[in-house]
């Protein structure tokens, strides 16, 4: 298959690209910079230059493909510029453009999504649908629902819900950020009693899931790229504290905003997410290290980590 991938040079995208190439697929990657284009070319990927704002580029690349995996998101707009809604709206326009190009073809379109808006207080399954309100993060979930709905327009669409923590060597985000904060504060911290739980997945396991999805996921599928149902935040903090040889402490509700900086809104986040239906549907079996084992391997501590 000739597969068009957005976000192909990113942390997850580069693993997806390698998985696809190793399986014998031809990959076309979207690149908005010379650096990204060179990295993709060196990997053996055909490059299309453009960004998520170049809707004609997206339409043409999708139309010329046998399938699309959409991983890109305007993180700089959302995080650096503080315009999360603008990033969400740009993502929706990109999805609509790709969906229009694939309509009536029965070709696959796989979207990376998240867990915002899903039920809390119980284990979430692939059958659960998000509640949509006007909050920007919830509005992003509406894009996932729109992607699922493309099945009614002759697109073999599927959505892969990802956890907050997609980990592995080179992780630029959550775990790297916690290590950075611990180094800066001299203490590895968790919120409250530390029993709130984060689902997690290794990036190589989720890369395989994206390949399986583009190859054979039925139209309208919702998939969970979750290897571990939930890892306690206290356990994460203890592994980091042991490697950095520093105390591990609990934070009160008043402390996290000042202490954990950009991660503060998520320190009390808790979710337990099942992957049973995804495993059964696609015969997907995560085989790479779990989050705590990955944290224990040492690559997060070799040099001071930086956040995305």
pLDDT tens-place string over residues 160-204: 999 989 999 988 888 888 898 899 889 998 888 888 888 999 999
Check whether residue 96 and residue 127 sit in a common domain: yes
Q: Are 176 and 217 contained in the same domain?
A: no
Same domain, 188 and 205: no
- Whether residues 7 and 96 fall in one domain: yes
Contacts of residue 101, defined as CB under 8 A and 6 or more positions apart, other chains included, come to 58, 59, 60, 62, 63
Examine the domain organization and report whether 93 and 131 are in the same domain: yes
Same domain, 212 and 103: yes
* Domain tally, the chain: 2
* The two three-digit tokens of residue 178, written as one number: 């916690």
The CATH number assigned to the domain holding 179 equals 3.90.25
Q: Which tokens in the block code for residue 98?
A: 């790709």
Residues whose CB falls within 8 Å of the CB of residue 81, separated by 6 or more in sequence, listed in order: none
Q: What is the pLDDT of residues 204-260, one digit of tens each?
A: 999 999 999 999 999 999 999 999 999 999 999 999 999 999 999 988 765 554 555
Q: Which domain holds residue 45?
A: 2-164+201-227
CA-wise closest residue to 28 among 43, 97, 15? 43
Is 10 inside any structural domain? Answer: yes
Return the number of other C-beta atoms located less than 10 Å from residue 238's C-beta.
17
For the question of whether the overall pTM of this predicted structure is more than 0.85, the answer is yes
């Amino acid at each position: 298959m000739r597969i068009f991938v957005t976000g192909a040079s990113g942390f997850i995208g580069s693993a997806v690209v390698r998985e696809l190439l190793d399986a014998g697929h031809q990959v076309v990657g979207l690149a908005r910079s010379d650096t990204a284009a060179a990295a993709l070319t060196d990997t053996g990927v055909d490059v299309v230059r453009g960004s998520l704002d170049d809707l004609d580029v997206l339409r043409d690349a999708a139309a010329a493909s046998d399938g699309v995996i959409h991983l890109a998101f305007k993180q700089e707009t959302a995080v650096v510029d503080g315009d999360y809604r603008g990033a969400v709206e740009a993502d929706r326009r990109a999805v609509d453009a790709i969906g229009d190009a694939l309509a009536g073809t029965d070709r696959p379109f796989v979207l990376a999504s998240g867990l915002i808006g899903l039920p809390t207080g119980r284990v979430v399954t692939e059958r659960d649908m998000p509640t949509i309100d006007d909050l920007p993060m919830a509005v992003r979930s509406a894009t996932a629902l729109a992607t699922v709905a493309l099945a009614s327009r002759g697109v073999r669409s599927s959505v892969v819900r990802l956890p907050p923590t997609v980990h592995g060597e080179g992780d630029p985000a959550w775990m790297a950020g916690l290590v950075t904060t611990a180094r800066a504060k001299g203490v590895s911290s968790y919120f409250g009693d530390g029993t709130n739980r984060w689902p997690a997945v290794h990036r190589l396991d989720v890369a395989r899931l994206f390949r399986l999805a583009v190859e054979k996921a039925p139209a309208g599928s919702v998939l969970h790229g979750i290897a571990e149902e939930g890892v306690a935040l206290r356990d994460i903090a203890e592994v980091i504290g042991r490697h950095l040889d520093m105390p591990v402490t609990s934070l009160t509700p008043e402390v996290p905003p000042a202490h954990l900086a950009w991660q503060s809104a998520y320190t009390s986040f808790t979710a337990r997410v099942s992957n049973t239906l995804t495993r059964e549907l696609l015969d997907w079996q995560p085989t790479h290290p779990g989050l705590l084992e990955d944290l224990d391997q040492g690559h997060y501590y070799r040099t001071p980590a930086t956040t995305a």
